[in-house]
Amino acid sequence: MSPGSSAPQTRPRILVIDDEPDIRSFVIRALADAGYELDVACDADSGLDKALDGSFQLVILDLVMAGTDGRGLLARLHDERPEQPVLVLSCLADVTTKVECLNLGARDYLTKPFSLDELLARVRVQIRSVLQPHEVLRSGHLVLDLGRLQADAGVGPVPLTRLEFLLLRELMEHAGRSVSKDELLATVWGIDFDPGSNVVDVCVRRLRSKLGFHLIKTVRGAGYQLAA
């Protein structure tokens, strides 16, 4: 190598697990054109083997497949490699499935049909979180590690679920003002409006129990606000 030249950069590696040939080839072509290195699996069993044996910055996972479905794979992968980022790509658009997958360890959830621009944007976010694992968000004494999905309120790092992480990040990014339940439902759960849902309240209670009961204030009639 000549003096002053730099070592070639390794391209981020992505594993695509999907049994739909058309979707699979579309996703692979788009990601390859964007500069990523790709590996492919056409079913959950071979996908799990590759995910456990290889080193990938991201796994893109379909849910509905023959044999072991994507949720079973997601649960196994989270148990054995909890640090592995997974983006679920599925035709299942119901809130219950989304919440279940996020609780099982998925970092993101995108429903089919999807736009190529949105897929690439979400992939970039996940890849960036892996390549810059020490990026943090701060608000007062509270520190949120954006790569490791953990928070420190002054007594040491505490691991968070994906939903807890997303909700806390939203409150921290709007520190100083209240965030309504409708806003949180839209940004964290992807729900436009559901007056009967209590998922926000449940998630806030879990965060309070993990990080301190005075961390998040209830603003009557307005939503929630990060305590000063």
- 190 and 112: one domain? no
pLDDT digits (tens, 9 = 90+) for 130-162: 776 567 888 888 999 887 788 999 888 888 888
Reported as a single tens digit per residue, the pLDDT across 84-124 is: 889 999 999 888 888 888 888 888 899 988 899 999 999 99
**Domain CATH code at residue 175:** 1.10.10.10
143 and 124, same structural domain?
no
pLDDT of residue 5 exceeding 70, the answer is: no
CA-wise closest residue to 210 among 131, 150, 138 = 150
Mean of the per-residue pLDDT values of the chain: 86
Task: Return the higher-pLDDT residue of 52 and 222.
Answer: 52
Helix ranges restricted to H, the chain: 21-33, 44-53, 70-80, 95-103, 116-131, 162-173, 181-184, 199-211
Asked whether residue 2 is assigned to any structural domain, the reply reads: no
Domain that holds residue 73: 13-131
Percent of the chain with pLDDT over 70: 93
pLDDT band, very low/low/confident/very high, at 78 (cuts 50, 70, 90): confident
Longest CA–CA separation in the chain, Å:
66
Query: For residue 2, how many C-alpha atoms fall within 13 Å in the half-sphere facing its CB?
Result: 1
* CATH number of the domain within which 109 lies: 3.40.50.2300
Verify that 103 and 151 share a domain, yes or no: no
Residue 38 has pLDDT above 60, yes or no: yes
Would 50 be classed as within a structural domain?
Answer: yes
In a domain, residue 3? The reply is no
Residues 27 and 109 in one domain: yes
Q: Give the end of a domain, one of 97, 131, 165.
A: 131
**Co-location of 33 and 120 in the same domain:** yes
The pTM assigned to this predicted structure is 0.65
Question: Do 98 and 151 share a structural domain?
Answer: no
Q: Specify the number of domains making up the chain.
A: 2
**Cβ partners under 8 Å of residue 133, min gap 6:** 145, 147, 148
Do the domain assignments include residue 6?
no
Q: What is the pLDDT of residue 196?
A: 65
